[in-house]
Amino acid sequence: MKVLVTGGAGFIGSHVVEAFLAAGHEVAVVDDLSTGFRHNVPPGVRLHEVDIRNSKLTEVFEAERPEVVSHQAARANVRESFEQPLTYAAVNVLGSVNVLECCRLHGVRKIIYASTGGAVYGEPSWLPVPEDHPVRPLDPYGASKHHVEHYLQLYSLNYGLAYTALRYPNVYGPRQDPKGEAGVVAIFTGLMLGGGQPCINGSGEQQRDFVHVSDVARANVLAMDRGDNEIINIGSGAGTDVNTIFSILAGLTGYTAPAKHGPAKLGEVQRIYLDATRAREILGWTPQWPLKEGLASTVEYFRTRNREGVTTGSPA
What's residue 182's pLDDT?
61
Residue 244: CB partners within 8 Å, gap ≥ 6? Answer: none
What's residue 177's pLDDT?
86
pTM for the structure as a whole:
0.95
What's residue 315's pLDDT?
36
- Whether residue 128 has a cis bond before it, omega within 30° of 0: yes
State how far the Cα of 48 lies from the Cα of 25, in Å rounded to an integer: 18
Q: What is the 3-state secondary structure (H, E, C) of the chain?
A: CEEEEECCCCHHHHHHHHHHHHCCCEEEEECCCCCCCHHHCCCCCEEECCCCCCCCHHHHHHHHCCCEEEECCCCCCHHHHHHCHHHHHHHHHHHHHHHHHHHHHCCCCEEEEEEEHHHHCCCCCCCCECCCCCCCCCCHHHHHHHHHHHHHHHHHHHHCCEEEEEEECEEECCCCCCCCCCCHHHHHHHHHHHCCCCEEECCCCCEECEEEHHHHHHHHHHCCCCCCCEEEECCCCCCEEHHHHHHHHHHHHCCCCCCEEECCCCCCCCECCECCHHHHHHHCCCCCCCHHHHHHHHHHHHHHHHHCCCCCCCCC
For 252-304, write each residue's pLDDT tens digit: 999 999 999 999 988 889 999 999 999 999 999 999 999 999 999 999 999 99
Beta-strand relationship, 110-116 and 240-241? unpaired
Residue 160: CB partners within 8 Å, gap ≥ 6? Answer: none
Residue 17: CB partners within 8 Å, gap ≥ 6? Answer: 5, 8, 27, 29, 41, 42, 45
What's residue 293's pLDDT?
98
92-120 mean pLDDT = 98
310 confidence band (pLDDT: 50, 70, 90) = low
181 confidence band (pLDDT: 50, 70, 90) = low
Task: Please determine, for residue 313, whether its predicted confidence score (pLDDT) is greater than 50.
Answer: no
- Nearest residue to 270 via CA among 134, 139, 123: 123
216-230 mean pLDDT = 98
316 confidence band (pLDDT: 50, 70, 90) = very low
Hey, which residues are catalytic here? 141
Please classify residue 246 by burial: count the beta carbons closer than 10 Å to its beta carbon, then call 0-12 exposed, 13-18 middle and 19+ buried.
Answer: buried
194-204 mean pLDDT = 94
Q: What percent of the chain has pLDDT over 70?
A: 97
Q: Does domain 2-170+211-237+272-288 have CATH number 3.60.20.10?
A: no
What's residue 312's pLDDT?
46
Q: What percent of the chain has pLDDT over 90?
A: 92
